[in-house]
């Protein structure tokens, strides 16, 4: 008897799941992924954190996935072989998809040098009806090498670091990115505004969100 | 020159990351994980989705991680060997931690039969200062077997399914769970209210959130 009641209840409650549309309504935005790609030291993390901050200040929940929070946890078991690097990006893509499904705006900050991997991330998002934008942080390798805050380019040039993207491992530039950002020519602040402008146009924010609700506005920037 | 400016700007912007406390303030809740554990068909998913719905209706962003959204994506490469099942739970724990760090309340719905794995999930959350609660969905195996919506117990009894938790694979009940829920005795609705009551006491919701803000209230339930 109890069994029958619980079974019947199961059916009702299982049907009453929260839909993504409901979650997005609560957060007043569409879940989706801003996928940054570019050479080491091209400015991906700078852009990612600046974008997260700008979104946060307007009241839109966003979250950055990058080497700092992924390599030390979820992908701790992975090294830097070709297979492990591919698996690293696959898991990031799938995790970003989960966040996007939860209604969050995810900003991923990984070199992600191969088109095939980025195309996979795009495909799984689009198949699930989630927003996705590939943003190419297009900084000349000379500029990246000039920054080199961790001295990795220097090590790679000295042959102490093998398989370094841009030096002895290829970077495949996006063929049709949604946006190209040139950090050597445009300030991080201006780049963030351009990305948000693009996101507004692409419908990342629910209708009216850019003008209404808790004074959140991207106007006048 | 440009290089120098960009470098300097990098430093400033990197320092201006959004903190977890700020994210939690925006969402009016503390990020954390409600880790459900129990036998197959014990009522974990029913509980998880009912809890997510109740939280959502009060305006608190929550997200369920379960076999449906994890096994088909992030953990698609994993089978059901002992090692793969362990890796499955490890990745779920790490992904839950990322969601919690983003300020979201995660509800995980996995058998997670081994204490060591659940203790790992707890440890990485607590070390990061994140809320974590292990909730034992304590349903007698006879009741679970009576429900058996996918006929898995029947298959396991017939020897067609090997390593099935509760039949020929062990389930290690939690030794000190934060809460024990008996789905054979208490309705899903009542269970959800008990979990939320516990969450209120444990500080999952920011001070005042349970009484104020957008009419969200758990009082009177």
Q: Domain segments of chain A: what residues?
A: 19-201
Residue B170's φ and ψ, nearest 5 degrees, are -75, 150
Six-digit token pair at B91? 């990745």
Tell me what the mean pLDDT of segment B23-47 comes to: 94
- Residue in A with minimal Cα distance to B11: A46
Strand boundaries in chain B, DSSP class E: 32-37, 62-66, 105-109, 131-137, 179-181
Q: Which residues of A are catalytic?
A: 112
CB A16 within 8 A of CB B188: no
Low-confidence ranges of chain A (pLDDT < 50): 1-15, 210-221
CB B171 within 8 A of CB B71: no
Instruction: Determine which one of B112, B187, B210, B213 is catalytic.
Output: B112
- Cα–chain center distance at B196: 13
CA separation for the pair A2, B43 (Å, rounded): 13
Fold annotation for B19-201? Rossmann fold (3.40.50)
Interface contact A74-B53, CB threshold 8 A: no
A141 Cβ under 8 Å from any chain B Cβ: no
pLDDT band at residue B79 under the 50/70/90 scheme: confident
CA separation for the pair A159, A140 (Å, rounded): 21
Q: What is the pLDDT of residue B74?
A: 94
Tell me what the mean pLDDT of segment B107-118 comes to: 96
Least confident range of A61-65, A180-184, B67-71, B183-187: B67-71
Please report residues of A whose CB lies closer than 8 A to that of B143.
2-3, 6
In chain B, residues 18-77 whose CB comes closer than 8 Å to chain A: 18, 22-23, 26-27, 43, 45-46, 49-50, 52-53, 56, 59, 61-65, 69-70, 73-74, 76-77
CA separation for the pair A27, B59 (Å, rounded): 9
CB A93 within 8 A of CB A120: yes
pLDDT band at residue B206 under the 50/70/90 scheme: confident
Please report residues of A whose CB lies closer than 8 A to that of B94.
73-74, 76
A16: nearest CB among B53, B102, B147? B53
Strand boundaries in B16-102, DSSP class E: 32-37, 62-66
Q: Rounded to the nearest 10 degrees, what angle do helices A82-101 and B82-101 cross at?
A: 50
Interface ipTM: 0.87
Q: What is the pLDDT of residue B208?
A: 54
């Amino acid at each position: 008897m109890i069994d029958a009641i619980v079974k019947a209840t199961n059916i009702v409650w299982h049907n009453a799941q929260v839909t993504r549309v409901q979650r997005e309504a609560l957060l007043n935005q569409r879940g989706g992924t801003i996928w940054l790609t570019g050479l080491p030291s091209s400015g991906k993390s700078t852009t990612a954190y600046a974008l997260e901050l700008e979104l946060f200040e307007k009241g839109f929940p966003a979250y950055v996935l990058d080497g700092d929070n992924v390599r030390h946890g979820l992908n701790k078991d992975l090294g830097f072989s070709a297979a492990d690097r591919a698996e690293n990006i696959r898991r990031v893509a799938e995790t970003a998809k989960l966040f996007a499904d939860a209604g969050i705006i995810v900003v991923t900050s990984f070199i992600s040098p191969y088109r095939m991997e980025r195309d996979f991330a795009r495909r799984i998002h689009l198949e699930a009806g989630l927003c996705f934008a590939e943003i190419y942080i297009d900084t000349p390798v000379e500029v990246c090498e000039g920054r080199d805050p961790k001295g990795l380019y220097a090590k790679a040039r000295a042959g102490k670091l093998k398989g370094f993207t841009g030096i002895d491992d290829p970077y495949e530039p996006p063929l049709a990115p949604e946006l190209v950002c040139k950090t050597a020519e445009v300030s991080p602040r201006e780049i963030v505004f351009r990305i948000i402008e693009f996101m507004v146009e692409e419908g990342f924010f629910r209708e009216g969100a850019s003008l209404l609700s808790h004074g959140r506005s991207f106007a006048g920037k």
